[in-house]
Amino acid sequence: MGVRHGQSVRLTVACAMIDRYLACAVDYLAEKAALTGFVQELAKRHGFHECEVGINTADADRSGALFLTVTGTSAEAGDDGQVGRGNRVNGLITPCRPMSLEAAAGKNPVTHIGKIYNVLAQRISETIVNAVPGVDAAHCLIVSRIGDPVNRPSVLHVKVATHNGLAVADVRQQVASVAADHLNPLPGLIDEFVNGTIAVF
């Protein structure tokens, strides 16, 4: 996952390592360090001289929780993708507009951002259109980083369309307030998932 800010980029790499090729945790950490250098070099080749790289950011080195697999895929843990990729929470497939390829049904409602952020983004967009005068449409994009708290996304970007010559700067604070109002009580959204009150396809 990459997030660009001007000429700098923040890259998150999830790279499962196959256990039989690593003798110990020190080997694993050495491979992570080598991969970090490789990714930074690639970023420089593409014009990003400022590059922050996170490899397997959910690792907990002290407890020994590392991203190891037997086969190199998540299928061995039951993550085999049977839900599919076409069922979006708004019921639409919109190839000419921003959309997620995540299917929300069947995913963990506590930590899976492919489920949580899809519903959250839709609610933020709907509230902005309904509550902020002069806004005709809103798109909300939310990016997470593995290992970070769900209610602290790396990016929460809202794009709005206004009418009657209204400048976006005039509604910026209201839009930001709507986003914050939805992001702060995120545990309540998780309860809605658990209680089955949210339709996800």
Q: Give domain 113-195's CATH architecture.
A: 2-Layer Sandwich (3.30)
Which residue spans of the chain are classified as CATH 3.30.300.280?
A: 113-195
Residue 85 has which token pair?
């990729």
Other C-beta atoms closer than 10 Å to the C-beta of 50 total: 13
Spatial separation of the C-alpha atoms in residues 197 and 119, rounded to whole Å: 12
User: Is the predicted pLDDT of residue 55 greater than 60, yes or no?
Assistant: yes
Half-sphere exposure of residue 157: CA atoms within 13 angstroms, side-chain side: 10
Q: What is the pTM of this model?
A: 0.80
Residue-wise pLDDT tens digits, 189-201:
888 988 888 888 7
Top pLDDT among 51 and 76 is at 51
Spatial separation of the C-alpha atoms in residues 135 and 164, rounded to whole Å: 10
Alpha helices in the chain (DSSP H): 25-45, 113-131, 168-183, 186-195
User: Is the predicted pLDDT of residue 27 greater than 60, yes or no?
Assistant: yes
The arithmetic mean of pLDDT across residues 57-62, rounded, is: 84
Instruction: With beta carbons less than 8 A apart as the criterion, state whether 141 and 129 touch.
Output: no
Residue 41: exposure state from Cβ atoms within 10 A (0-12, 13-18, ≥19) = exposed
The arithmetic mean of pLDDT across residues 103-111, rounded, is: 82
Q: Give domain 2-77's CATH architecture.
A: 2-Layer Sandwich (3.30)
Which residue spans of the chain are classified as CATH 3.30.300.340?
A: 2-77
pLDDT score of 41: 96
